[in-house]
């Protein structure tokens, strides 16, 4: 995070890593005797914006090779005898071919019927869990067909002004729900279905929709099982639902001429500690869930995917004098995350215990389905990242910087990122001057934009080239595009 005034030289992004992480050691086994905030951070030149702590010396170092098409991404080289990518000889080749054949057979046999999710428990690394679904699966009919229930986990969303929309299983349309017959208990049950503890507010909205859904009186665990299609709503009133009071700054004061954040100013910002060192940022979205970046948990380093090795700190603006940590129950990585292109770079952390909200700890709002912030919109990104390109440690203070949304078309120009920005990403920064950007250690943190007094999580800090360089803006995971994934995982992992 650039701590300097906006006219100062831009901060850059790269450090060096000198060894792999220790295999499957617990947090308690490593952090004895260290002061809060102590860090020894290292990052390879081609990595996304996160900082890995090297707690102890383990094995000989990885060999880092730079790959131009995928900026800020590390590759393992088979030139090292200890490299995990070396299988050796024709036997290794045969083994890989057998695995490939099995993968192809599974794809042909099951196709889209297999739904995968990456997660981890407290004791073992993340594993691939497949959700098997019968051939006659019908999505969003209120009946669980798939083993893990993924067929009923993508059926609810929110439209403009919080309008509740439910997917009609007959034609696949998302339709509003009529307000007639709706009650507080219906609101609580719907929010609980989505992974929230209860509802926060329910209101009636006017609608001009020609089709809608009405309560049928049927008993079901899901809202999609309790509604049916109707021509229109009585009095044209539909349900507007809020599951959590979110996006409220408890302090709007700023340090004049500086970029250090004040307590309560960004109350959803959290610091993710891996073996007692700040490694990534994150955003609190409810009492139980934090949104962050998938690349903070590299699959090549199994210790990073063990939930007990992480601590989450909320309500802080300094890495010193940390409060009690939130423990992580489960790490959920997007199953389509591509470490080479950084596509689908998003993860969800489920906490062991619900967070108590306060003036310094509050959730950020998730955007509504149709909510977009056009190019030129001024938004803010925050974090504890490095402040200089060649720095070997991050900031001990939470820092903020304003950035402008940049269109994907502009960001994909040959002079910028040459087509590397996918529809699941968005760019923000200052193309012409640079100097305003995220940096190493800010990974997983929020890019937020304000509307009508509330702040919405628009992006998750993902990758970029350098810090604050001209024509190299920050690239963020596009939260609006990934909303269905967020809600589906919250529903499947609901407390």
**Chain segment 210-265, per-residue pLDDT in tens:** 899 999 999 999 999 999 999 889 889 999 999 999 999 987 655 433 488 889 89
Tell whether the model's pLDDT for residue 72 goes beyond 60.
no
For residues 299 and 331, what is the distance between their CA atoms, to the nearest angstrom?
A: 12
Active-site amino acid positions: 295, 345, 443
Instruction: Identify the burial level of 444 via C-beta atoms within 10 angstroms of its C-beta, where 0-12 means exposed, 13-18 middle and 19 or more buried.
Output: buried
Q: Residues 96-148: pLDDT tens digits?
A: 454 445 544 444 344 433 334 333 344 444 434 568 999 999 999 999 999 98
Mean pLDDT, residues 41-45: 33
Mean pLDDT, residues 149-171: 95
3-class secondary-structure state, position 62: coil
Q: What is the DSSP letter of 261?
A: P
Least confident range from 41-55, 334-348, 442-456: namely: 41-55
For residues 286 and 246, what is the distance between their CA atoms, to the nearest angstrom?
A: 8
pLDDT > 90: what percent of the chain? 58
Report the 10 Å Cβ neighbour count for 230.
17
Angle at 118 between CA 112 and CA 120, to 5 degrees: 155
User: So what's the pLDDT on residue 251?
Assistant: 72
User: So what's the pLDDT on residue 317?
Assistant: 92
Q: What is the DSSP letter of 328?
A: E
For residues 388 and 411, what is the distance between their CA atoms, to the nearest angstrom?
A: 23
The answer to whether the beta carbons of residues 62 and 17 sit under 8 Å apart is yes
The answer to whether the beta carbons of residues 401 and 447 sit under 8 Å apart is no
pLDDT > 70: what percent of the chain? 71
Q: How far is CA 218 from CA 100, 184, 228, in A?
A: 47, 17, 10
**Residue in 225, 261, 278, 245 with CA at minimum distance from that of residue 38:** 278
Dihedral angle sign, alpha carbons of residues 297, 301, 307, 309: negative
Q: Which helix (H) or strand (E) holds 462?
A: strand 454-463
Instruction: Give the mean pLDDT of the chain.
Output: 77
The answer to whether the beta carbons of residues 21 and 415 sit under 8 Å apart is no
For residues 299 and 337, what is the distance between their CA atoms, to the nearest angstrom?
A: 11
> Which residues are registered as beta bridge partners of 156?
166
Q: Residues 292-344: pLDDT tens digits?
A: 999 999 988 889 999 999 999 999 999 999 999 999 999 999 999 999 999 99
Tell whether the model's pLDDT for residue 32 goes beyond 70.
no
Q: What is the DSSP letter of 407?
A: -
Q: Is the pTM of this model over 0.75?
A: yes
Tokens of 51: 């900082």
């Amino acid at each position: 995070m650039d701590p300097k005034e906006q006219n100062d030289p831009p901060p850059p992004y790269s450090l060096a890593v000198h060894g792999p992480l220790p295999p499957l050691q617990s947090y308690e086994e490593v952090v004895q005797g260290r002061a809060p905030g102590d860090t020894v951070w290292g990052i390879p030149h081609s990595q996304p914006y996160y900082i890995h702590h090297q707690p102890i010396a383990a094995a000989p170092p990885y060999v880092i090779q730079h790959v131009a098409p995928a900026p800020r991404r590390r590759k393992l080289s088979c030139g090292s005898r200890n490299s995990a990518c070396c299988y050796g000889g024709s036997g290794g080749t045969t083994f890989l071919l057998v695995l490939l054949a099995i993968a192809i057979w599974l794809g042909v046999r099951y196709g889209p019927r297999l739904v995968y999710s990456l997660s981890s428990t407290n004791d073992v690394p993340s594993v691939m869990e497949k959700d098997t679904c019968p051939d006659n699966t019908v999505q969003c009919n209120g009946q669980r067909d798939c083993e893990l229930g993924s067929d009923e986990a993508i059926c609810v969303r929110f439209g403009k002004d919080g309008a509740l929309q439910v997917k009609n299983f007959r034609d696949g349309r998302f339709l509003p729900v009529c307000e007639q017959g709706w009650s507080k208990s219906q609101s609580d049950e719907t929010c609980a279905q989505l992974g929230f503890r209860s509802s926060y507010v329910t209101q009636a909205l006017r609608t001009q929709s020609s089709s809608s859904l009405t309560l049928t009186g049927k008993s079901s665990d899901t809202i999609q099982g309790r509604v049916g299609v109707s021509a229109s709503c009585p009095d044209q009133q539909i349900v507007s639902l809020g599951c959590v009071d979110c996006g409220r700054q408890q302090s709007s004061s700023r340090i004049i001429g500086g970029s250090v954040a004040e307590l309560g100013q960004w109350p959803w910002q959290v610091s993710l500690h891996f073996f007692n060192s700040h490694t990534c940022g994150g955003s609190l979205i409810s009492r139980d869930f934090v949104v962050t970046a998938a690349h903070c948990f590299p699959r090549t380093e199994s210790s990073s995917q063990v939930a007990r090795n992480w601590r989450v700190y909320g309500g802080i603006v300094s890495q010193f004098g940390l409060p009690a940590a939130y423990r992580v129950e489960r790490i959920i990585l997007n199953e389509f995350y591509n470490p080479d292109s950084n596509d689908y770079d998003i993860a969800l952390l489920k906490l062991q215990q619900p967070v108590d909200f306060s003036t310094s700890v509050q959730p950020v709002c998730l955007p509504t389905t149709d909510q977009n912030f056009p190019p030129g919109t001024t938004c803010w990104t925050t974090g504890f990242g490095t402040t200089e390109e060649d720095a070997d440690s991050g900031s001990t203070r939470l820092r903020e910087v304003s950035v402008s949304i940049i269109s994907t078309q502009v960001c994909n120009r040959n002079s910028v990122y040459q087509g590397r920005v996918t529809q699941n990403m968005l760019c923000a920064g200052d193309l012409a001057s640079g100097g305003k950007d995220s940096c190493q250690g800010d990974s997983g943190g929020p890019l937020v934009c304000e509307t009508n007094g509330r702040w919405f999580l628009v992006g998750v800090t993902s990758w970029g080239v350098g810090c604050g360089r001209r024509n190299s803006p920050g690239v963020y995971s596009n939260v609006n595009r990934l909303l269905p994934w967020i809600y589906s995982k919250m529903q499947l992992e609901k407390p």
